[in-house]
Each structure stands twice: as C-alpha cells, then as structure tokens.
C-alpha cells in the first residue's frame, strides 16, 4: 500500500494512543521511549523521526502549570506541613511527568510524520496532511 491509500487518522488521537502515524494500529515505541524501527502493523520505519527535547518541554510546562496551582490551593485551604508538600508534590511531579512523556513524544512524532517535518531534520517523513 502507498501512503495515499491509508485512511486519514487524527494526529492527536494516534499520538495520545502511541500508535503509528500511517495506519493508526502499530505501536510507535519499541520500549518506554525508544522509537520502533519498523512498525508491526504496516512496516513503517520511524527510526529517523526525532522529537528531540520537545516532549520534555511540553510536559514540564503542563506539569508546572497544573501542579503549582494545586500546591498553592492545597497550602491555602489545608495549610499542610512543608515535609508533606515535599513528599506529595515531588512524587506527583515525577509520576505525572513519566506518565505524560510517552504520549507527548508519540504525538510530536506523529505530527512530524504527517507534516513531513522529518525531511527538514533529515528524517524520512512521507506522511499525509490533514
Ligand atoms: Zn502503521
């Protein structure tokens, strides 16, 4: 099948589900954050797609905005001791960041593929535009 014969899929939906940007079924990652060299469903090679530091920047921005608001609200409403703030917010930041990093990286890879941004960076994106 050529790229034009695959159905159009939502970049955001495919990215959040960590699915292949071309067919929407195969996985983007072979491991936690290692991009799959060949997709299991359609054979797409994603090894040249590189999201670089982009996902980490977006994750940090989202986590900071959400958790600073929650920490301030918790302090104002509950007046928690500082050691409890440290335990709660440090573990929440770590867990939320690790949980969000994968779908954010997949979304950027899917967007790079769909908008042929990989060619600018030397990648092989041959995707379709929505
Ligand atoms: Zn695929």
Rounded to the nearest whole angstrom, what is the distance from the C-alpha of residue 39 to the centroid of ligand 1? 5
Tokens of 7: 């159905």
Q: Domain extents for the chain?
A: 3-119
Other CB atoms within 10 A of residue 4 CB: 6
Residue 108: the pLDDT is 93
Rounded distance between C-alpha atoms, residue 41 and residue 63, angstroms: 33
Q: Which residues of the chain have pLDDT under 70?
A: 39-40, 118-130
Rounded to the nearest whole angstrom, what is the distance from the C-alpha of residue 59 to the centroid of ligand 1? 25
Residue 130: the pLDDT is 45
Residue 120: the pLDDT is 54
Rounded to the nearest whole angstrom, what is the distance from the C-alpha of residue 9 to the centroid of ligand 1? 11
Residue 49: the pLDDT is 80
Rounded to the nearest whole angstrom, what is the distance from the C-alpha of residue 88 to the centroid of ligand 1? 39
pTM (predicted TM-score): 0.80
């Amino acid at each position: 099948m050529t790229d034009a014969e695959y159905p159009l899929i939502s970049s955001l939906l495919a990215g959040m589900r960590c699915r292949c940007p071309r067919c929407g079924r195969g996985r983007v990652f072979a491991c936690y954050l290692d991009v799959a060299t060949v997709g299991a469903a359609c054979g797409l090679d994603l090894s040249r797609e590189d999201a670089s530091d982009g996902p980490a920047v977006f994750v940090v921005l989202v986590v900071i905005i959400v958790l600073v608001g929650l920490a301030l609200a918790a302090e104002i409403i509950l007046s928690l001791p500082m050691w409890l703030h440290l335990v709660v917010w440090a573990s929440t930041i770590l867990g939320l960041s690790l949980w969000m990093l994968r779908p954010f990286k997949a979304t950027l890879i899917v967007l790079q593929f769909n908008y042929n941004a990989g060619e600018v960076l030397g990648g092989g994106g041959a995707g379709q535009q929505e």
